[in-house]
Each structure stands twice: as C-alpha cells, then as structure tokens.
Amino acid sequence: MMKVNNLLLGVLVAATCLSSCGNETKENMNTSEYSTLLPDKVSFEDTIDNKATHLYVIKNSKGLEAAITNYGGRVVGLVVPDKDGNPTDVVIGMDSPSGYAEATEPYLGALIGRVGNRIAKGKFSVDGVEYSVFQNNGPNALHGGKKGFQYVVWDGEQVNDSTLVLHYESADGEEGFPGNLKVKVTYTATEDQGLKIDYEATTDKRTPVNLTNHAFFNLNGEGSGTINDHVLQIYADQYTPVDSTLIPLGEQATVEGSPFDFREATRIGERVDQEDVQLGNGDGYDHNFVLAKDPSGLAARAVGDKSGIVMEVYTDEPGLQFYGGNFMQGKNTLKSGAKDEYRTAFCLETQHFPDSPNQENFPSILLEPGEVYKTSTEYVFSVKN
C-alpha cells in the first residue's frame, strides 16, 4: 500500500511540475507568440520625448509576421516563408529604440514625412509665402528635415492580431512646414500574404504632404549578403533624371536603352557599375520611376536569388523611388548581429515625385484644408520554386 501511495504521489508531483513549468515558460518567453527572428518586445519598452515606445507584432494565418515600433512607425522586421518553408526576415532593422536613435542610417524601416524625398535647397512656397526646411542632405532637405517622422513617437493601437493603427499630430511650423497636420497610418497583415500600409492626413492650412515607408529589404534575409543578385522588375517607362545633388531636372526621361530599364526582370547589379551620368549622380540607383498606369496598381516585382521569395509592390502613387543601398557603410549592427554592409538591402518607396513643391510639371502634393489625404501601398509575398 505504501508503494502505491508513493507512486501516486510521484505522478501528482510530476504532473504539477509539468503544469507549472509549462505556464512559466509561456509567461516568460515573450517571443513565444511569434517568430524568434523578431526582437523581444521588452527590448522596445523605453521612453523618448516623454512618450513610451513599444513593439507591436501583427500577423496573418499564412506565416507572415511584421514587427513594428511606434518609434518612427518603423517596420523592425518582416517574416515570411521562403521556397522551402523556412521563416525568413526580409526587412533589416535594429533591436531597440536606442539602436535606431543612434544609427548612422536614420531611415531604417521608418514612416517618412511630412514630405518624403528631397526638397531643393530646403525651400518651397505656398500662396506666395516661402517656407524653409532644415537642409539635412547637402544643400537640400530630405525626408521631412532634421527631425522627420522617423524620430517621433507615434500613438499606437493594436486593433487585432493583424492590424496596427498609428497616429501623430504634426504641429504648425514643425520642421518649417505650415499647418497642423493630423496623420493616421494603418498597418495590416493581409490574407493575400501582404503587408498593407494605408496613409491618411488632414490639415488646417495648405501644406505639402508626401508620405511613404522606408523599409530596407533583403529577400534572402537580413545579413545574407548583397542584393545585387536579386532580380527586379519595375513597371515604368520613364524616370526622373537628377542633378549631382539628386534633385530632379524637371523632365521625365525614357528608360529605353538606359541602365534604368527594368521593364523586363533584370539583376539589380547587372548594370549598376556602368559609366552613366545618372548612376554617377546617385552612386548607383537612387532615382524616382514614373509608374505605368497598371489597373491592378502593380509597381514592381523583386525576387530573392537564394530564398525564392517574391515581393510585389502595389500602390496608387504615381512614383517609386528605387534605392540600391549605395550609402550603406557597415557601421550599424542589425538585430541579427550582422552589419549593414554596402548594398545589402534595397528600398522601393512609393511616393509622389521628389521636389514636387518646386516642380510645376510634377503632380502636386499640396493638401487643402477640408480634404483628406489618402494613399495605400501593399507589399505582397509569394515564392518562386
């Protein structure tokens, strides 16, 4: 009888231990809810400008997971399955808010505003009044000035497992722009295996607005080496040539017969080192493409040469800035431990054209009081076997 009791006691103790150990593991493993390729949420709990920073994870039912911080609205990581079903983080990023704040590359994964891309000499006029934005890119203003939207803490609300809504109010005069601008950005992990970004904004004064996201992609995975062997297709017959400071010359030139012809799928690095004035001005690709009017909104398609991951970009914007990582210098340690080496990531930024406030032949980016700025972009993933 004593042996039976002892055996029963042992079973009860073991069961209790298994139960408590299991609960402890679930409670303590912050990353148990999502891919271990993404940072721990705790590492993003911080305070910047007296506002709390957080990391949010949204996902769909097909293995797509996106980690987004309200510090700069940054896409920290984006995990999708590769051709063998292995989870792969296709967006490079840092592992904490301080990592982003101290990085030599200010725009990693960030929401960009008020005006994405460059404004010549940091100056523009609205209704005869001249405004000045900090010249943070040589003689020009870039991506909203010295403290653009990438360095502000947004108000975040995770609506459900697949949706995150961010809000920010940019005060009249912030970075030199007129009007109080209220911005809402919604990130959605869609069931068509996409990360969709919906932008909305309203203002109480006429003001230029050109919002985008500056995710740096490597479809073979963060830290996997050059992106020059990725294959890229851009659905554009024209691009906007630039001067030596990357300000558009005001014309829309054909891509025909140039290194900018990506109408057929082409290796990114196939022509990047050719002798070409425009490639010289950008130290490679850093140019706006004038998108064709595809009814589906398809703007570009990229394929990772090792992973087989395919990314299609859909947008209602007229332009797409293709940046080939020309200014990456290996000075920042990414969340995987790898360095951000030269041309190990690329960007496809949906947008209106650069320097639009000063280019009368470009589509206007002026937002009027009473109007609602609305635009959408979706990055959709699949695999090529």
Which residue is associated with the tokens 């020009």? 140
From the list 312, 349, 352, 378, the catalytic residue is: 349
Q: How far apart are CA 133 and CA 125, in angstroms?
A: 11
Answer yes or no: 214 catalytic: yes
Q: CA-CA distance, 295 to 157, in Å (whole number)?
A: 32
Q: Which of 150, 348, 328, 360 is nearest to 248 (CA)?
A: 360
Is the distance from CB of 27 to CB of 157 less than 8 angstroms? Answer: no
Grouping H, G, I as helix, E, B as strand and the rest as coil, residue 33 is helix
By DSSP bridging, strand 253-254 and strand 236-240 are antiparallel
Angle among Cα 167, 314, 377 to the nearest 5 degrees reads 5
Q: Is 12 left (phi over 0), alpha (psi -120 to 50) or beta?
A: alpha
Indicate which residue of 214, 230, 287, 352 is catalytic. 214
Closest CA to 289 of 326, 328, 263, 325: 263
Please state the φ and ψ torsions of residue 198, each to the nearest 5 degrees.
Answer: -110, 125
Q: Residue for token digits 């992973």?
A: 307
Q: Quote the radius of gyration of the chain (alpha carbons, Å).
A: 23
What single DSSP character describes residue 356? G
Q: Is the dihedral of CA 204, 72, 376, 168 positive or negative?
A: negative
> Where does residue 159 rank: exposed (0-12), middle (13-18), buried (19+ CB within 10 A)?
exposed
- 349 catalytic, yes or no? yes
Quote the CA–CA distance of 96 and 54 in Å, as a whole number: 9
Which tokens go with 266?
């082409």
Q: Tell me whether the omega of the peptide bond preceding residue 301 falls within 30 degrees of 0, making it cis.
A: no
- What are 210's two structure tokens? 């050109």
Q: Which residues are catalytic?
A: 214, 349
